[in-house]
Structure 1
Amino acid sequence: MAAAKIKKGDTVVVLSGKDKGNTGTVQKVMPKEGKIVVEGVNVATRHRKPSQQNPQGGLDRFAAPMSIGKVAIADPKDGKPTRVRFEQKDGKKVRVAVKSGETIDG
């Protein structure tokens, strides 16, 4: 299995769809499904009936999973989308932004 290029906590930019251009933080990555959950992006709404736990009922808004191919990591330098490559630095494998050459982690 290949190393994960997008991880929980990364800042990503949406490349396509209704939220194109929006930026958010990764909350969850589901590699087997090829999905990702990004905070404040792809927000879905559910109408909830009043219940014991939620006596008020109302609208429930949450970030729904979206395809991992629709996002790219934001470059640490300027916040624009970039691809990621892996390099060895001090004996550690680190992620590097292709556009600027900046290290993303470690």
Structure 2
Amino acid sequence: MNLKKNDKVIILAGKDKGKTGEIREVMPSKNKVVVTGINMISKHVKPNQNNKGGIQKMEAPIDASNVAVVCSKCKKHMTPKNKVEQSGAVTRICRKCNEAI
């Protein structure tokens, strides 16, 4: 999975198709990501000493295959590829414009 926290992504499938957002959380073991403001659900919460109960809106995880990274330079969505430099460092680059993400 070539997705990282704070990547700007576009949604490829589902009810929020075409919307863009920033990755808030990555769950590689489940192959899912949480994107801010996307895939909002209503969750019923019981009241406790710290907060009032009720219905809260929150983001639900999306499968990683339904999002694509948006390049900051060419503004196109793609799957980044890894480039290994001579020093051994790995950088992610855009497949369309060959710029570092």
What interval of TM-score do these two structures reach, taking the shorter chain for normalisation?
Answer: 0.7 to 0.9
* Amino acid aligned to 2:98: G
SS in structure 2 at match of 1:69:
helix
Q: Which runs of 5+ in 2 are unaligned?
A: none
Q: Percent identity of the aligned residues?
A: 37
Q: Which runs of structure 1 show a deviation greater than 4 angstroms over 4 or more consecutive aligned residues?
A: none
Q: How does 1:64-75 map to 2 (within 5 A)?
A: 64-75=60-71
Residues 50-61 of structure 1: pairs in structure 2 closer than 5 A: 50-55=47-52, 57-61=53-57
Deviation at 1:49, TM superposition (A): 4.6
> Which residue of structure 2 aligns with residue 45 of structure 1?
42
1:76–1:102 contact (8 Å) kept in structure 2: no
Give the structure 2 partner of residue 18 of structure 1.
Answer: 15
TM-score, normalising length: structure 2:
0.86
Alignment of 1:98 with 2:95, yes or no, is yes
Q: Match for 1:80: what amino acid? A: K
4, 21, 24: which one pairs with 1:27? 24
Provide the secondary structure at the position in 2 that maps to 1:60: strand
**Larger CA deviation: 24-33 vs 90-99:** 90-99
Equivalenced residues, count: 100
Letter in 2 for 1:65: P
Structure 1 pair 51–99 and aligned structure 2 pair: CA distance change class (3 A)? same
Alpha-carbon contact 1:7-1:26 (below 8 Å) kept: yes
RMSD (CA atoms): 1.7
Give, in whole Å, the separation in 2 of the partners of 1:59 and 1:80: 37
TM-score, scaled to structure 1: 0.83
Report the residue type matching 2:94 in the other structure: A
Give 1:66's aligned amino acid.
I
- Structure 2 vs 1, CA of residues 76 and 90 (structure 1 numbering), >3 Å: closer, same or farther? farther
